[in-house]
Copies of this chain bind each other. A is one copy, B any other.
Amino acid sequence: MTTRNIPIVLVSDFGHTDPFAGIVKGVILNICPNAQLVDLTHGIRPQDIFQGAFVLYRSFGFFPKGSIFCAVVDPGVGSQRAPIAIKTRNYYFVGPDNGLLWPAASADTIETCVCLDRPEFCLEQISTTFHGRDIFAPIAAWIRMGTPLHLLGRTMACPNEFKFPVPKLESQGMILTVLGRDRFGNLTLNLKSQEFESGFSALFSLEFKGVKITRVFETYEQAPKDIFFVLAGSAGFMEVALKNSSAARMLKADVLDRFLLKSRREPE
């Protein structure tokens, strides 16, 4: 094996019970039989573009340069929203132009974007309900085979933007928003770990529904039991956690909920 096997990475809201993700792989292998296929996850909540965009954004940089991301969270399938492919500095992104690809693609610097309007590169019959199978899978496979983007569709100015909420400074403190919630119940806030460390050090309070969080730890294990705390999460953002338990469940907090962060002058 001499060729470097560039992966096609799949992310979607197909779930793992229906055969949709499997069918997408079948279509890709029909065109590119030796593709290295990787599931990022198919567990995005149905039609949750926000979650899909965040998962893609926090993950893409760990994949080999040249990787092709085929992302499908597509409530507008078959409608006016364009199917697109983007070439960024290091990667390719294929999916609907509904914001899903934007945070990852723009973070890597968008070089080219095309609207996928060439049926000769798609399945013979294009349904109105499953473009993951009929358009995005074959296009990802053709990109993997070396087809340049300009052959796959006409160039577009720019895909639709989609931005995560940013911290908001208000009189009572800084409003932070939950960007993600993982299986362990950790809540990812929209505050970069570096910003937290430079701006707040050990004296802060983070409030949510009357609960006040004032402790920061480096690892889950260092934390005492039954005390909410923050730590620098693996996505580069601050997280709210609860040792051996679920902060999300115990706080009844979820994505898009807001926390209030304040500096404290003195230890409590």
Which residues of A line the B interface, CB within 8 A? 1, 3-7, 9, 11, 13-23, 25-27, 29-30, 33-34, 36-44, 46-47, 55, 58-59, 62-64, 67, 75-79, 127-130, 133, 182-184, 218-222, 231-234, 239, 244
Contacts and interface: CB of A to CB of B under 8 A. Distances in A.
Contact of A220 (B16, B38, B64, B77): B77
Contact of A221 (B30, B63, B77, B232): B77
Contacts of A76: 219-221
Given A17-B41, A22-B9, A23-B59, A64 B30 contact: yes
A11 to B, nearest CB: 7
Contacts of A13: 183
A189 to B, nearest CB: 14
Contact of A182 (B18, B77, B218): B18
B59 A221 contact: no
B75 A244 contact: yes
A59 B4 contact: no
Contact of A62 (B27, B62, B128, B219): B27
A142 to B, nearest CB: 15
24 contacts: A1-B34, A5-B33, A5-B34, A9-B26, A15-B43, A17-B43, A18-B55, A19-B58, A21-B41, A23-B40, A23-B59, A26-B64, A26-B67, A29-B36, A30-B62, A30-B64, A34-B36, A46-B183, A46-B184, A78-B218, A79-B219, A79-B222, A127-B232, A129-B220
Contact of A234 (B1, B38, B67, B130): B130
A182 B15 CA distance: 9
Contacts of A232: 127-129
B3 A25 contact: no
A25 B46 contact: no
A64 B184 CA distance: 32
Contacts of A42: 16
* 3 A-B pairs closest in CB distance: A17-B43, A78-B219, A130-B234
Contacts of A30: 62-64
